[in-house]
Amino acid sequence: MYYADIRNRITPIPTPPVVRAVGSLGVAGSAAALVSQAPIGIKVAVALVCVAATLGVTLAHPYRKQMAAFAERENVSKVPSISMLLPVMLWWLALMLAPLAQWPTWGAVLTLIGGFGVAWVLYPHVDGTRRLAYA
């Protein structure tokens, strides 16, 4: 598969910007909270709220029904692939290792910014909307 072929495929149901922004902020916020120097109870509470917000906004938004209908109509598998799960596994690993860091505030802010950027780019691949371009 060539790069031009990948770039020319249009995603039929794109991830809504609000879902992508809130989800990316939740991913980045959970990691940033855990690398901070805050007390462990506060870090875990903030990280859990971020994870819950990310999952909630992704799974509860109406575009999921549109995706399911499109997948059914075009005979696209709804089973997650390894390429969809790998970023989630890396997020989980980052959350497990983050409390070991104990970075100052600027380190947590850099983690938030970097994590947001990475999550923003990978979000359509993880939630499955990009897969629909190959139907």
Residues 6+ away with beta carbon under 8 Å from 47 = 29, 30, 31, 33, 34, 95
The pLDDT of 100-129, averaged and rounded, is 95
Say how far apart CA 47 and CA 92 lie, in whole Å: 11
For 8, list phi and psi in degrees, rounded to 5: -85, -15
**Confidence label for 4 from pLDDT (cuts 50, 70 and 90):** confident
Q: Is the predicted pLDDT of residue 45 greater than 80, yes or no?
A: yes
**Between residues 120 and 4, the one the model is more confident about:** 120
Q: What is the dihedral angle through the alpha carbons of 118, 52, 124, 132, rounded to the nearest 10 degrees?
A: 160
Say how far apart CA 102 and CA 12 lie, in whole Å: 42
Tell the residue number behind the tokens 């999952």, with chain if given. Answer: 55
**Confidence label for 17 from pLDDT (cuts 50, 70 and 90):** very high
**Confidence label for 1 from pLDDT (cuts 50, 70 and 90):** low
Domain ranges of the chain: 23-134
Say how far apart CA 78 and CA 90 lie, in whole Å: 22
Tell the residue number behind the tokens 């495929």, with chain if given. Answer: 9
- pLDDT score for 115: 97
**Confidence label for 101 from pLDDT (cuts 50, 70 and 90):** very high
The pLDDT of 76-92, averaged and rounded, is 91
CA 96 to chain centre: 16
